[in-house]
Amino acid sequence: MANADISTLEKLRAQLGKEAVVTEWVLVSQERIDQFAEATGDFQWIHVDTERSAKESPFGGTIAHGFLTLSLLGKFYLDDIHLPFCDMGINYGLNKVRFTNPVRSGSRVRGRFVLSSLSDIDNGIQMTWTVTCEIEGVARPACIAEHVVRRYFRAAVVHEGTKP
């Protein structure tokens, strides 16, 4: 599927209820898992101990932290959701998150983004995306999340129905 044209606010609004973006695949390497453990202080052996995980884990090796998979949403937004009429964005929160399948070290994941809601806010928009994080070659996804994001308009851009 080619990604939808969301280069204007009107084109973005036309994507409401539709799958608008499918991201590129991202490798979840053991190095990335170890870096995430270092950043968060979560050194659970199923994530970082490759030898023990190979012997004792029901997954046959290490798996990514669920929050590592979720944190990739930020990369997906930066790399694949281009809204040239907006200048900056913030993560406004999550309505619902489910980790439905572990991501084994060495797997690749990608995101499928459905625009579930879109509303005007002062000098910007609030979007809720239903995001499915797929694992390459695996039927059941790794994560499904309702992610709320706010994006703010560029100062020079004026949009009908929004406050300056």
Tens of pLDDT, residue by residue over 116-139, are 999 999 999 999 999 999 999 999
Q: What is the pLDDT of residues 19-72, one digit of tens each?
A: 999 999 999 999 999 999 999 999 999 999 999 999 999 999 999 999 999 999
Q: What is the pLDDT of residues 67-99, one digit of tens each?
A: 999 999 999 999 999 999 999 999 999 999 999
The CA distance from 97 to 99, in Å, is: 7
The CATH H-level superfamily of 9-28+64-153 is Hotdog Thioesterase (3.10.129.10)
The structural domains of the chain, with segments of one domain joined by +, span 9-28+64-153
The CA distance from 5 to 20, in Å, is: 8
